Structure 1
Amino acid sequence: MPTVPALILAAGFGNRFGSDKRRATLADGRTLLAASLARAQAVFDQVHLVLRPEDDPAALGLPPDCSIILCEDAGQGMGHSLAAGARVLAAGEGEAIAVLLGDMPWIAESSLRALIAKAAPCRIVFPVHHDERGHPVLFGRDFWSELQTLTGDEGARRVLRAHASAWVAVGVDDPGVLRDVDSPEALEQ
């Protein structure tokens, strides 16, 4: 299997949710962010969380030994968070970075493994469920330098658009690749 570190983007403010959704409690008592982290840790050998400098990992329900990357300019958008994470991970090993969102704990482990199996330095791999592109997106090492320069709130859309020929869509029977939490009601579904 390719070496693929995971990068969970969790430095946003979740304005549509109405409060800090990362702290929202799931039925099993874990925070949304802790559940997303646990899912990634079940599959990836390396998992890194991008947080804001003022975040208290314990208050977010995170274990004390998790790897945290702080993004000083997180308030300027997801692109800044992704760039901060990519800059740190570029110094390490790996054929691709799996970019996950901190509000998506329901992705099946089998889906994550299927994506990892397709990862390569020259590919951008993502899941597709019922003809809809989902998360996470795995960016091969060839694209890491571009990820490091992202800004604003568009995330990696610019990189995706520029490299459509590198796309590898992996069909999955997993609605979890589409299910994020934008409202308190989304936790109850």
Structure 2
Amino acid sequence: MSVAGLVLAAGAGRRYGMPKALVEHEGRLLADHAAATLRDAGCDRVLVVLGAAADEVLAKAADLPDTVVNPDWQTGMGSSLRTGLTALEETDATAAVVLLVDMPGVTAEAVRRITAHASPAALVMGGYRERRGHPVLLGREHWAGVAATAVGDRGARDYLRTHEVLIVEVGDVADDEDRDVPGNLSAVDDH
């Protein structure tokens, strides 16, 4: 199975006050951190979807893998997910594991637990006790359906609610709290 990693990093970060892809955390940009997490987890290819301040992110990010720019990033995360999945259609990936740029507490171990269940038909989410969360794995057979329902800031949420999803516990090795405002990056636990 070939598993692609997909980082959604296109937003302007209005609540944060700047694009979160440009936020520095532990000595590197969040965009670099998310891409490294997916690489460290063994993803065969990593793709980062940029939008707001894409040129600045490309200039400042030290170690970004392949990137694609979402021209409709202002419409929300759904368009970034569609942009990423469309770009991955050109690859031999059988599944894509999706990671949001503002979740630095998601670890490579959490991603490995999710990707262990990869197949073209798989839908897998990280579990945090009673709650579903990130990372999310989308088997290739679901990409068209996810893209058709990904609007605004809802991403794959509506699609996942109407399909059988395997939940894999990752809460013991990860934290998927999104960092929406300055100051809450310090809340990241070391897992």
Aligned equivalent of 1:176: 174
Unaligned runs of 5+ in 1: none
Distance 2:128 2:44 in 1: 25
Taking the aligned partners of 1:155 and 1:90, their CA distance within structure 2 comes to 18
Segments of 5+ residues of structure 2 without an aligned counterpart are none
Runs of 4+ residues deviating >6 angstroms: none
Q: Could you tell me how far apart the structure 1 residues matched to 2:162 and 2:124 are?
A: 14
Q: Secondary structure at the match of 2:80?
A: helix
Deviation at 1:50, TM superposition (A): 0.3
Deviation, 1:74, is 0.7
Task: For residue 134 of structure 1, give the secondary structure of its aligned residue in structure 2.
Answer: strand
Name the residue aligned to 1:17. Answer: 16
Q: What is the match of residue 32 of structure 2? A: 34
Give the TM-score, by structure 2 length.
0.88
| Pairs aligned (count) | 184
Deviation at 1:31, TM superposition (A): 1.4
Partner of 1:50: 49
Determine the structure 2 residue equivalent to 1:148: 147
Alignment match, 1:73:
72
Aligned residue type for 2:103? M
Contact 1:124 1:168 in 2 (8 A): yes
1:88-118 residue CA offsets vs partner (Å, 9 max, x unmatched): 1112112211111011222222211111111
Q: Residues of 2 paired with 1:58 and 1:72: CA distance?
A: 15
1:139-180 alpha-carbon deviations (Å, 9 max, x no partner): 1111111233333221111211221x2x00001243634222
Structure 1 segment 124-135 matched on structure 2, within 5 A: 124-135=123-134
Is contact 1:9-1:101 (8 Å) kept? yes
Quote the Cα distance in structure 2 between the aligned partners of 1:85 and 1:142: 15
Residue pair 2:10, 2:21 contacting (<8 A) in 1 also? no
CA distance 1:177–1:143, change in 2 (3 Å): farther
Which residue pairs with 2:161 in the alignment?
161
CA 1:131–1:33 in structure 2 vs 1: closer, same or farther (change >3 Å)? same
Asked if structure 2 preserves the Cα contact closer than 8 Å seen for 1:33 and 1:60, the reply is no
Do the aligned residues in 1 keep the contact of 2:20 with 2:101 (CA within 8 Å)? no
Pairwise CA RMSD of aligned residues? 1.8
Q: In the alignment, which residue of structure 1 is the partner of 2:116? A: 117
Letter in 1 for 2:157: R
